[in-house]
């Protein structure tokens, strides 16, 4: 019984984290995100729309990231908050992150 109420609490805590994903197009500012991406991410990634390759061939162009099946605001948020080997740990302010996520998702082919 006790276990059950604990897991319900865990679920309720988790719900607010799901909301931004459901409202992917309503948070962040894609135009600002594009400018941030050009500053912070473009050493390695091709951040602009189009088919040009990334400066670092290991780093997928943002158009390719946007096309990845199942790529959501939440998936991108998790990626950007998790450290991974080949990408330096870039510490983004939450607003900056929202802007960049909003920009990347705006590159999805069916959103243009």
Binding interface with ligand HEC (CB under 6 A): 37, 40-41, 43-45, 56, 58-60, 65, 68, 76, 79-80, 84-88, 90, 92, 100
Q: Which is nearer to ligand HEC, 24 or 37 (CB)?
A: 37
Q: Which is nearer to ligand HEC, 6 or 88 (CB)?
A: 88
DSSP class of 49: S
Residues 6+ positions from 58 with CB-CB distance below 8 Å: 44, 86
Question: Dihedral sign, CA of 26, 32, 38, 40?
Answer: negative
User: Please, what is the minimum distance in Å from the beta carbon of residue 105 to ligand HEC?
Assistant: 11
């Amino acid at each position: 019984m006790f276990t059950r109420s604990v897991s319900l609490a865990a679920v309720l805590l988790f719900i607010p984290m799901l909301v931004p994903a459901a409202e992917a197009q309503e948070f962040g500012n894609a135009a600002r995100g594009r400018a941030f991406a050009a500053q912070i991410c473009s050493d390695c990634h091709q951040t602009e729309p189009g088919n040009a390759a990334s400066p670092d061939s290991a780093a997928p162009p943002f158009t390719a990231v946007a096309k990845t099946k199942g790529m959501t605001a939440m998936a991108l948020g998790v990626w950007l908050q998790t450290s991974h080997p080949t990408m330096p740990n870039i510490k983004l302010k939450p607003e900056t992150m929202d802007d960049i996520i909003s920009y990347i998702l705006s590159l999805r082919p069916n959103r243009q």
